[in-house]
A and B are shown apart, each in its own frame.
Chain A
Amino acid sequence: MAEKDLLYNYSLHLADNSMILGQRCGEWCGHGPVLEQDIALTNIALDLIGEARSLYQLAAELKGGNANEDTVAFLRDVMAYKNVLLVEQPNYDWAYTIVRQFFYDVFHFYLHSELINSTEPRLSNIAAKSLKEVTYHLKWSSEWMIRLGDGTDISREKMQDAVNGLWEYTGELFMPSAIEQQAFEAGFAPDLNILKPLWQEKVEDILAESTLFIPENNYQQKGGKTGVHSEHMGYILADMQYLQRAYPGANW
């Protein structure tokens, strides 16, 4: 794959994760358990979509022609989306939302901690800006893991249920797609093998403090990175892309 195509595809890996998680977080807006946390989660949605925009702009520039951030985000169908299965999982409840966020934040934090050293300056710049935000996201979700894990019996049960439900989607974060592998070999993407033990250690620490356990069943799902998504994904895109699809070429 030519370097330009590789960078385009790798940017989509990064962008689609943040875009889809941002979309999920945005669904909470107006429905949070308490006003302050409604605001906090909307902030995270704004950061994630902001990061996705920078990456889609880069992707559009690489694609050339009439491409822009919106054509890249709104005119690709499910199989062309490269986000991991974890981020497309539904909100279900606040426990699922926090656990999903936490698993992703730990990954996102270590990923960007490495990506700031990318040989590709456009990626390292985006990572540097995003890392500040992600550091806050991780602090926020870690605190909620602990607060709810070590809160009441009910909250612990709900959190453990969410950990059990989402654990099978964490492995995919570290299974490199062909594009991620080539991007690593080309020098502009981090080695996912290095990130994995860092992620594992941080997750184990916070889970211990939260009085929560890693489930025994360690079978891991995969597919999102190569476009084989869960059934949820079609609905996410149906909402997200509705106006662009219904009124092709219109300006908004």
Chain B
Amino acid sequence: MEINLEEAFQKRIDDEIKIEPRDWMPEKYRKTLLRQISQHAHSEIVGMLPEGNWITRAPNLRRKVALLAKVQDEAGHGLYLYSAAETLGMSRDEMLNELHTGKAKYSSIFNYPTLTWADMGAIGWLVDGAAIMNQVPLCRASYGPYARAMVRVCKEESFHQRQGYEIMLTLCQGTPEQKAMAQDALNRWWWPSMMMFGPNDDNSPNSAQSTKWKIKRFSNDELRQKFVDVSVPQAEILGITIPDPDLKWNEARGHYDFGVINWDEFNQVVAGNGPCNKQRLKARVDAWEKGAWVREAAVAYAEKREKRNSNKENSNAA
């Protein structure tokens, strides 16, 4: 019986029919998705911190408003994604508990610090750019609630990406100090952005199953190559240099060749040894703990009110 269910499930996926929360699904599919979507939601929420760091210091009012709105969009993405993940049978509070206890991961890119205003540009341009490469195919992911959440997320991400690039462009057309600031940000964010696509294909054990389930549509290396090919001409327009001496156009492949990623650094950051892992997690745990009395009071008040209303109804009925 199990075999038939699983075959029917795979056939729906092969036929590009979306899987919905009430449909039968293999336990491993559910777990894989739950892990991926909750990690994605956590990344949005932790991702608010490095940019939130610059809200009070944005250089002018237009940029301040745009940055606030952007970080707010990330909170909104977190909401859609937690909701999508909840359809797989775990509550938001449980997911947050996994984040706070270190059981759940989030994107390692957010463990790097934002040191100058140019980092707001580089994050929008490169980090959101890499995220879009990863996320656009997810709009067609086999799980309906995830795919639909991603459609909304991607629309806003591409706006953020253009906004980030525009910050970089303004800096690069500005004073020599501003251009140096932009170059410095590119130097620091380039390689971590390249790592956002995950390990090389021959070192990515879960990819085959995710591809078969149409959660994943392109391999890590395919997406990374696409990111490089798109980013190089953009850096040329800015007039700043990507920090990779091996970067060059390969006529035969029709792609840019690029240098070897420092996987040791990647693994260290994933393992918790990035420059800001501890601070990011602490900020999230602090917000949660300091907010506990607020959430408890909101629940207590709602219960009181319900009780008062039902007392009123009872006395009306009497």
List residues of A whose CB falls within 8 A of some B CB. 23, 26-27, 29-39, 42-43, 45-46, 49-50, 52-53, 56, 69-70, 73-74, 93-94, 146-148, 150-152, 154-155, 158, 236, 239-240, 242-244, 247, 250-252
A33 touches B294 (CB 8 A): yes
Q: Report how many A-B pairs have Cβ atoms within 8 Å.
A: 137
**In chain B, what residue has the closest Cβ to A49?**
B65
The distance from the CB of B56 to the nearest CB of chain A, in whole angstroms, is 4
Once the chains are docked, how many angstroms separate the CA of A94 from the CA of B45?
A: 19
- Residues of B16-74 at the interface with A, using a CB-CB cut-off of 8 Å, are 45, 48-49, 52, 55-61, 63-65, 68-69, 71-72
- Please determine whether B60 and A70 come into contact, CB atoms closer than 8 angstroms: yes
Q: Which of A27, A31, A37, A152 contacts B293 (CB 8 A)?
A: A152
- The answer to whether A36 touches B72 (Cβ under 8 A) is no
Evaluate contact between B78 and A151: CB separation under 8 angstroms.
no
1/0 per residue, CB under 8 A from A, across B157-192: the answer is 000000000010011011101100000000000000
CB distance from B79 to the nearest CB of A (A): 6
* In the complex, chain B residues whose CB is within 8 Å of the CB of A53: 61, 65
A50, A52, A152, A154 — which one has the most chain B CB atoms within 10 A of its CB?
Answer: A152
Whether A34 pairs with B61 at a CB distance below 8 angstroms is no
Which of chain B's residues have a CB closer than 8 A to the CB of A148? Answer: 294, 297-298, 301
Which among A43, A93, A155 is the interface contact of B297 at CB below 8 angstroms? Answer: A155
- Name the A residues within 8 Å of B152 (CB-CB): none
Residue in A26, A36, A151 whose Cβ sees the most chain B Cβ within 10 Å: A151
CB of B75 within 8 Å of the partner chain? yes
13 contacts between A and B (CB under 8 A): A29-B48, A30-B48, A31-B52, A33-B287, A34-B294, A69-B61, A147-B301, A151-B298, A151-B300, A152-B300, A155-B293, A240-B56, A252-B60
With both beta carbons as reference points, the residue of chain A lying nearest to B171 in the complex is identified as A252
**Chain B binding surface, main DSSP class:** helix
- Taking a contact as CB atoms under 8 Å apart, the answer to whether B301 and A150 are in contact is yes
Report the minimal beta-carbon distance from A90 to chain B, rounded to whole angstroms.
Answer: 12
Residues of B within 8 A of A (CB): 45, 48-49, 52, 55-61, 63-65, 68-69, 71-72, 75-76, 78-79, 82, 117, 167, 170-171, 173-175, 177-178, 283, 286-288, 290-298, 300-301, 304
CB distance from B177 to the nearest CB of A (A): 6
Please indicate the chain B residues that have their CB under 8 angstroms from the CB of A49 in the complex: 61, 64-65, 68
In the complex, the answer to whether B61 meets A38 with C-beta atoms within 8 Å is no
Q: How far is the CB of B279 from chain A (nearest CB, A)?
A: 12
Q: Mostly helix, strand, loop or mixed at chain A's interface?
A: helix
Closest to A72 in B: B61
Complex Cα–Cα for A52 and B68 (A): 15
Contact A35 B297 (CB under 8 A): no
Which residues does chain A contribute within 8 Å of B49, judged by CB atoms? 30
With a cutoff of 8 Å between Cβ atoms, the chain A residues found around residue B173 in the complex are 251
User: Which residue in chain A gives the minimum CB-CB distance to B292?
Assistant: A33
Contacts of A147 in B (CB 8 A): 297-298, 301
Q: Which of B72, B78, B170, B175 has the most CB of A within 10 A?
A: B72
A residues within 8 A CB of B294? Answer: 33-34, 37, 94, 148, 155
**Residue of B at shortest CB range from A150?**
B301
Complex alpha-carbon distance, A233 and B318, angstroms: 59
Q: B96: nearest residue on chain A (CB-CB)?
A: A35
Query: 3 closest A-B pairs (Cβ-Cβ)?
Result: A33-B291, A151-B297, A155-B297
- Report the minimal beta-carbon distance from B266 to chain A, rounded to whole angstroms: 25
Question: Could you tell me if A34 and B56 are in contact, using CB atoms closer than 8 angstroms?
Answer: no
From A43, which residue of chain B is reached at the shortest CB distance? B72
Q: A30 and B291: CB pair below 8 A?
A: no
Residues of B within 8 A of A27 (CB): 55-56
Q: Do A46 and B291 touch (CB < 8 A)?
A: no
Given contact pairs A36-B79, A244-B60, A250 touches B293 in the complex (Cβ within 8 A) = no
Q: Is the CB of A46 within 8 A of B65?
A: yes
New A-B contacts (19) at CB < 8 Å, excluding given A29-B48, A42-B72, A49-B68: A29-B68, A29-B71, A31-B286, A33-B288, A34-B294, A35-B78, A35-B79, A35-B82, A46-B69, A74-B60, A94-B291, A152-B296, A154-B293, A155-B293, A239-B56, A243-B117, A244-B59, A250-B174, A252-B167
Are B56 and A23 within 8 A (Cβ)?
yes
In angstroms, Cα B65 to Cα A70, docked, is 13
Which residues on the A side are within 8 Å of B48 (C-beta)?
Answer: 29-30
Contacts of B288 in A (CB 8 A): 33
Q: Which chain B residue shows the least CB distance to A36?
A: B79
Q: Which residues of A contact B170 (CB under 8 A)?
A: 251-252
Pair B61/A93 contact, Cβ less than 8 Å: no
